[in-house]
Structure 1
Amino acid sequence: MQHSSFKLIIIKEIKSQYPFLIDNEGFDYFEEWQDEDFFLVSEEDVNFEGNFYLDLYEEKEKKWLGSLLNLPAKKMHEIRIEGVFINGDFSASGSIINSEGDYGPYVFVNGNINCQSLLLGGANVEIKGKITAKEVVMTYYNHGNFRCGGLIDAPVFIVTDHNTTFAERKNDLFYYNDRADDVDPKNECEYDDETGDEIISNELRKLLDNPLIETFEELERDLARGELVLKQNNPPAKTYEYWRDRVQANYRDLKLVPKEFKTEELCNLALNTSYHALPFIDQDLITSELCEQLVGKDGFAIQVIPDEFITKELCFKAAQSGTMIRLIPAEYYSEELILTTFKNGKHEPDINDIPSDFITESLLEEYVKIAKGLWLDNVCKQNGIDKLQVLKQVIDSGIQYLDNIFGNHFSKETVDYAFSVYKNEEEWSNYVQKYKVKFERLELNEYL
């Protein structure tokens, strides 16, 4: 690349030098830019060696751009780059990548683009000329916008839930656009009831170098790495070290590892990152010991354990490690299991997850002691249980539970009963003072 062709220009100067940009739909779309913020600008054609990254808000890409512009890291952290403007053609020997789906810079290329692949997510991008890609043009996620004033010439062109418009297209191998009605039915996705994923067409899968790619998200991850993805272009052979690095960076990539490289070591590497990698593990590597280890580390792992390995003991281990009762199969429910889950949970227990067969006064009493009891009133009504009686039992359990009662179930009835039980206790006055505002709000001044 001609490094000198790029420079940083403040937005105030951009508006002055290129006033036609101001009226462009994506220019300062949210009206958040400051005149002192920057654009990355080239006033001539750009020929770039390697991948060009558009996610200029991200730390990794800031470091990359700082190296490109010979700017220190401190300087890159001090400035904000809102856009990229190229007043000419833009060619890259690698891919042009905006892998962040939620956001991205404003990009305007006043000419043609030529690259390996073009991946666009959350950026606002306008290309005045044509786009020629060696492999794939892919736009994804509805936070971004892409407008091409010319031809999109790429063997594969994919639009998935993205605001993409173009003048014309030439795609010899595959075209998919979920916002258009000109897609060949054989290119449509199929919904997988078991995983909830949209599985890409076999017409696309047979073109890919990695036959294990099943979703657009998985393809996007390869494109975000600047990979060659089409079989016809003979991508470089992958090594074990390559797959180890990918799995270490993203456990989900274990699913894409060819069988000859999917070793126990690689599987354990993924599982050490997240129990969510378990569905990608070969069945012969899944053992009771492994399941116990995962659940012991994080009770939420119970949700990915195969049915044949779930036992009463494993469910209790999950409850002790911290999980949600809804993730445990109902056939293993007991009052002890439910309360253990409530006591060790990382989130507010949801009594609505409990079948009515297990809703008793004793369970609700413990529920109030453990949690805020947000749904106590509703659950009592549904199950014909006297709510006040439950709260009285909690009060009887000890003065320390007055925080639970006064904090979450304050009423004249609970105050009257608590007073009758603890009026002679020295700590009673402390609770009255602590919740004085509530006493005053209900005009229970006789207790103040």
Structure 2
Amino acid sequence: MHNSAFKLITIKEVKAQYPFLTDHEGFDYFDEWNDEDFFIVANEDVIFKDNFYLDLYEEKEKKWLSNILNLPLKEIEKIQIEGILINGNFTTNGTIINAEGDYGPYVFISGNVTCQSLLLGGSYVEIEGNVKAKELVMSSYNHGNFKCSGVIDSPVFIAEDHYTTFTDRKNDLFYYNDKTDEVDPKNECTYDEDSGEDIISVELRKHLDNPLIETFEELKRELEFGELILKQNNPPAKTYEYWRDRVLSNYRDLKLVPKEFKTEELCNLALNTTYHALPFINQNLITPEFCDKLVSKDGFAIQVIPDEFMTKELCFKAAENGTALRLIPSAYYSEKLILSVFKNGKHQPDINDVPSEFITKSLLVGYVIIGKGLWLDKACKENGIDKVEILKRVIDSGIQYLDTVFGNHFSAEVVDYAASIYNNENHKPEWNKYVQKYKVKFERLGLT
């Protein structure tokens, strides 16, 4: 949707037309802007239809922006936009969305803001007038900054770990600000030890249309979609197709799906995207066969298997299909399992994941043979094991392992031992190959 109120102008022009901005803390906060880069500017009141996105650096929002500015997407991708300036009032019937918590453009609005909801994250936002939201104002995560010189008027106002300041507020339903002491204790979150999440107050949840929303993160995701979330505004009913699209976009949204739409088909769609969806599916769908199938597809799925379905056989299957040792319950550890994890892992084996009671000479030999044994020296010292003895055992296992030994554990002692085994007529061609490959190391120790 093209909106002719917005124009692209250079930062050099912004400084010339609005010189007072250069004294504002958020303007070029990190001193990284170039005068040739751009601001989106509206030098008048703006009435906008639909959601307004502040995450201008994301691919989806770039496409949206190309429509707003009536410019080809290729042109948008070529330029750097550092800020948004509205010299007047801004009104939209949608939500103003800065979902990215780590960064965002600088935003300056000289007048009042009227919207459905306002979600702020990593942007530095200054509004000189009042903010009136139909539903909710939420600022979240400490990389951002929000300064409102007027009144924040919204039924719900949440400032979660965010630098948010304002002159006054009017919030009839709920207020939470974890950087002040003026919050009603009944509005505080409670920590859930099982999930490790801060659960939002029942005082807020009783006003939400979806009773399955339990955390600020889940609430933010609703706002990212521009949804109406308060019961009092009678949000439109959702369909199965709506929830299917939500789940395919973010598997965590499976947790928010009402019971009547949370079908086996939908749960399987989520699991086909990622095994991390397992904690959110209907528990009656989880069976030993189901877990076996999940781990057979990806060994890393072992980390989400419920305790009651965990078995020795399943742990070995996870090891065979690639996983990390730390994801397997230690009660199932054995030397055979550990070596299987090392052998089939997608990354270099990490001996630091192995408890000391399992660090044996035979395990360390396998560790070097399977990988490079990068932490061998540390493991041997901590467990009182002779490193040279381990390397000699590796050398005894076959001439093909000289590559690992010479490449990562080269010393005169191991070379002398290897030569005593392989520098003979039976192995001469292969021995010479390794001597040539590591010629520099041999010469450095005067072994040639």
The two structures share one fold, judged by TM-score above 0.5: yes
TM-fit CA distance, 1:351 = 1.6
- Alignment-derived partner of residue 377 in structure 1: 377
CA contact (8 A) 2:2 2:70 kept: no
What amino acid does structure 2 have at the position aligned with 1:438? K
Paired with 2:315 and 2:160, the residues of 1 have a C-alpha distance of 40
Alpha-carbon RMSD across the aligned residues, in angstroms, is 1.4
Residue by residue over 1:108-155, the C-alpha shift from the partner in whole angstroms, topping out at 9 and shown as x without a partner, is: 001111111000011111111111111111011111111111111111
Is residue 2:6 matched to residue 1:6? yes
Once residues 410 and 178 of structure 1 are traced to their aligned partners in structure 2, the CA distance between those partners, rounded to angstroms, is: 56
Distance apart, 1:383 and its partner CA: 2.5
- Name the structure 1 match of 2:282: 282
Give the distance between the partners of 1:16 and 1:69, measured in 2 at CA: 22
SS in 1 for 2:35: coil
Correspondences of 1:5-404 after superposition (within 5 Å): 5-404=5-404
1:414 — aligned with what? Answer: 414
What's the counterpart of residue 444 of structure 1? Answer: 445
Q: Which runs of 5+ in 2 are unaligned?
A: none
Q: Residue 432 of structure 2 corresponds to which residue in structure 1?
A: 429
Percent identity over the alignment is: 73
Query: Structure 1: how far apart are the matches of 2:415 and 2:200?
Result: 62
Which residue identity is paired with 2:159?
A: V
SS of the residue 2:429 aligns to: coil
Post-superposition offset of 1:429: 3.2
Query: Is the contact made by 2:2 and 2:67 (CA closer than 8 Å) also made in structure 1?
Result: no
Quickly say closer, same or farther: Cα 1:405–1:304, change in 2 above 3 A. same
Does the 8 Å CA contact 2:2/2:68 hold for their aligned counterparts?
no
State the TM-score, normalized to the length of structure 1.
0.96
What per-residue deviation string (whole Å, max 9, x for no partner) do you get for residues 41-96 of structure 1?
00001111111111111111111111122211211112221110000111111111
Residue type at the aligned position of 1:207? H
Instruction: State how far apart, in whole Å, the 2-side matches of 1:45 and 1:359 are.
Output: 70
Number of equivalent positions: 445
8 Å contact kept, 2:2–2:69: no
- How much does 1:2 deviate? 8.4
Q: Deviation per CA, 1:373-426, whole angstroms, max 9, x where unpaired?
A: 232222223322211100111111122212211222122222222222222322
Contact preservation (8 Å) 1:2, 1:47: no
Q: Distance in 2 between matches of 1:232 and 1:385?
A: 69
* 1:409-447 per-position Cα deviation (integer Å, ceiling 9, x unaligned): 12222222222222232233332333334344xx41232
Q: Give the residue type in structure 2 aligned to 1:144.
A: G
Deviation at 1:160, TM superposition (A): 1.0
Moved more, 421-430 or 120-129: 421-430
Q: Measure, in 2, the Cα distance between the counterparts of 1:127 and 1:170.
A: 16
Whole-angstrom CA distance in 1 between matches of 2:295 and 2:156: 43
* Residues 98 and 104, structure 2, Cα contact 8 Å, conserved in 1: yes
- For 1:135, what is the secondary structure of its paired residue? strand
Report deviation, 1:196.
0.7
State the SS of the aligned residue for 2:447. helix
Distance, in Å, in 1 between the alignment partners of 2:440 and 2:88 is 68
1:177: Cα distance to partner? 1.1
Residues 29, 436 of structure 1: alpha-carbon distance in 2 compared, 3 angstrom cutoff: farther
Alpha-carbon distance in 1 for matches of 2:211, 2:141:
24
**For structure 1, which segment, 18-27 or 428-437, has the greater mean C-alpha deviation from structure 2 after superposition?**
428-437
- Return the letter of the residue paired with 1:217: E
d(CA) in 1 for partners of 2:353 and 2:54?
A: 45
Contact 2:94 2:116 in 1 (8 A): yes
Question: Any idea what SS the aligned residue of 1:64 has?
Answer: helix
Structure 1 residue 261: Cα displacement: 0.6
TM-score by length of 2: 0.96
Deviation at 1:232, TM superposition (A): 0.8
The alignment partner of 1:32 has SS state of: coil
AA aligned to 1:26 is G
Alpha-carbon distance in 1 for matches of 2:144, 2:419: 61
Q: Which runs of 4+ in 1 moved over 6 A?
A: none
CA offsets per residue over residues 3-54 of structure 1, 9 Å max, x none? Answer: 2211111111111111111121111122222222111100001111111111
* Aligned CA distance change for structure 1 residues 2 and 249 (closer, same or farther; 3 Å): closer
